[in-house]
Amino acid sequence: MKNLTAVWAAAAFAAIAGIPQNASSQATATTDTPAISHAFVDVNVLPMDSERVLAGQTVLVGDGRIVHAGSAADIMVPDGVTVIDGGGKYLMPGVAEMHGHYPNPDASEFTEAVMHLYVANGVTLVRGMQGGASHLPLRDAIEAREIVGPRLLVCAPAMSGNNVTRPEDAVRLVREAAAAGFDHIKVAEGLAPEVFSAIAETAAEAGLTFSGHVSNRVGLYSALEQGQSTIDHLDNYIEAMIDDPEVVAELGLLELPNVMSQVDEAKVGDVIAATVEAGAGVVPTEVLWETFLGGRSGADILAELPETRYWVRDSIPGVASGVNRWVQQTDGRSAALPQPDAGWPVIEMRRRLIKELHDAGVPVLLGTDSPQIFSVPGFSIHREMQVMVESGLTPYQVLHAGTAAVADFLGAEDFGRVAVGQRADLVLLNANPLDDIGHFADSDGVMVNGVWLSRSDIDARLAEIEALMEALGG
C-alpha cells in the first residue's frame, strides 16, 4: 500500500530500534528513548505473536509507542509517569475494523462521537470503505492527536457501475486518488469488466490496493486474478459455485436463498484455492449479512441491542441513517424472503466458508460494515467476534484476525502486537478473552496512539454521546 509509511509513522522507529523486548534487570528509560508517559504494571499480556499469555508484565509507553516490555520484577517504573494497575487484567493490542465508514467531517460533533464509539470498544484502526477528500484531514488530525480516534485508512470515493462507465474515467480517477493521498480504492457493484481491468491496472501502477465488492459482471475468479486485495462481505463466493451464468448475472442479495439448490458444494475447494493462489484476504461482515438474511423483525433485533442508544433514532440527511430506518430496512428484507428461515442455508454456507478459508490460510479479517443496519460503530465488532467463533474459529484466531493478521496483511510492522516499537494502541481487559471471546467487550480502559482512556473516561464520554444522539435525532 503506497501510503502506509507516510500515514502510519507518526513516531519514528529509529528512536527505539535498539531496545530489547525483554528489558534487563531494573531497566528504565535512558536519554536515547522517548520519555515514559504511562506504565501498565503487573499485567497479563497477550502479545498476539502466538496463543500465549505472559503473566506479571510491565509495559512502558512513551510518545505513542511501547518503549519497554518485560517481567515486572525486571523493569523499574520511572517517577512521574501515569501508572495503570494491571493486576488480574489482560493487555492486548486494539483491533481493526477492516470495513468501516466515517461520517461527513463537516458534522464535527457527530463525527468525533463516532470516532469515540470505535475507540471505546477497543477498535484502534478503521479501514474506511466510503471515502472522500474531507476524510483526509480527519485522518491527519487523529494522527496528530488533535482528535481522539482510531487510526484511519481512507479510501477514495467508491467506483461502481453507476459512476464509472468508461475505462478512461477509471484510469483518471485512480491516478487522482493516488495524487490526493488516499490509502486505497474501493470497488463496488455493477462495474463492467473492461472498467474493472482499468482500475486494477492503474492501481497497480499507482501503488494502491483496491478492495470491496465483486461485480457480477466481473466475477470472483476474475477479481482475484486481477489482484483485488480483499473480497468484502464474501461477495460472489456463493455465486461462483453456480454453473448457470444467466442466473448469476442479475442475482441480488435477497435472491440468493432462491438459488441455493443450484450451488455446487463441490466447488467450495475451488473458490478457496483461487483465493489462496491470489493472496487475497476476505472481510466477511457476517453479522450484517445474518441481519439481512436471518428473517427476524427489526423490533426483535433492536430489543437485544442496548448500544443503539448511542445512535440517532431518526436519520440525519447527509450524515447518518437512523435506528428507525434500520428497523424498516430489516423488516423489508425479512418480508422479501419466501419464509422466515429461507436465508439460513446462505448463512450456513457463509459460516462454512469463513472456517474453511481460514483453515486454508486465507487472511480472514475482522470487519462489520459499521455504521450500517444495527452495526453501531465499535459495538458491532463484539458481535462479529462472537459469530466468527460460532463459525468454528477459536477465540485466539478471532483476536488474531483483528490484530496481527491485519498488520501482516497490510505489510505494516508497527501495530497488531504487544512488543517494543509497536504503537501504543492497547486494550486493558478485565478477563482473559482466550477463555471467552465475550471478555473483549469488558474493558477497563483503552489506549490509542498513546492516549489513555480509563473506564470512567470512556463511560463519561458515552453518556455525553447518548445525550447528543438524542438531541440530534432522537
Q: Are strands 123-128 and 95-100 parallel, antiparallel or unpaired?
A: parallel
Q: Which helix (H) or strand (E) holds 124?
A: strand 123-128
Instruction: Sort 297 into a burial class: Cβ within 10 Å, 0-12 / 13-18 / 19+.
Output: middle
The model's pLDDT over 430-465, given as tens digits with 9 standing for 90+, comes to 999 999 999 999 999 999 999 999 999 999 999 999
Give 304's contacts (C-beta < 8 A, 6+ positions apart): none
Q: At what angle do helices 108-120 and 455-473 cross, to 10 degrees?
A: 140
d(CA 101, CA 361) in angstroms, rounded, equals 27
Phi, psi of 416, rounded to the nearest 5 degrees: 95, -5
What residue type is 113 in one-letter code?
A
Residue 218, Cβ neighbours under 10 Å: how many? Answer: 24
pLDDT of 254 reads 78
d(CA 15, CA 11) in angstroms, rounded, equals 9
Q: Kindly give the parts of the chain with pLDDT less than 70.
A: 1-33, 474
pLDDT of 300 reads 96
Phi, psi of 263, rounded to the nearest 5 degrees: -80, 125
What is the distance in angstroms between the CA of the first residue and the CA of the last residue of the chain?
A: 40
Give 295's contacts (C-beta < 8 A, 6+ positions apart): 334, 337, 339, 340, 341, 342, 343, 344
pLDDT of 18 reads 29
pLDDT of 34 reads 78
Q: Which helix (H) or strand (E) holds 268?
A: helix 268-278
pLDDT of 27 reads 38
Q: Is 63 left (phi over 0), alpha (psi -120 to 50) or beta?
A: left
In 3D space, the residue among 373, 253, 380 whose CA is nearest the CA of residue 325 turns out to be 373
pLDDT of 252 reads 80
The model's pLDDT over 173-222, given as tens digits with 9 standing for 90+, comes to 999 999 999 999 999 999 999 999 999 999 999 999 999 999 999 999 99
pLDDT of 474 reads 62
pLDDT of 263 reads 96
Alpha helices in 61-192 (DSSP H): 108-120, 135-143, 167-180
d(CA 102, CA 154) in angstroms, rounded, equals 9
Give 93's contacts (C-beta < 8 A, 6+ positions apart): 48, 124, 403, 404, 415, 416, 417, 418, 422, 425, 426, 427
Decide: 315 and 309 in contact? Cβ < 8 Å.
no
d(CA 392, CA 446) in angstroms, rounded, equals 28
Decide: 56 and 442 in contact? Cβ < 8 Å.
no
- Can you read off the three cell numbers belonging to residue 130? 466510503
What residue type is 80 in one-letter code?
G
Q: Give the three-class secondary structure for 66.
A: strand
Set out the domains of the chain in order of their start, with CATH numbers. 95-416 (3.20.20.140)
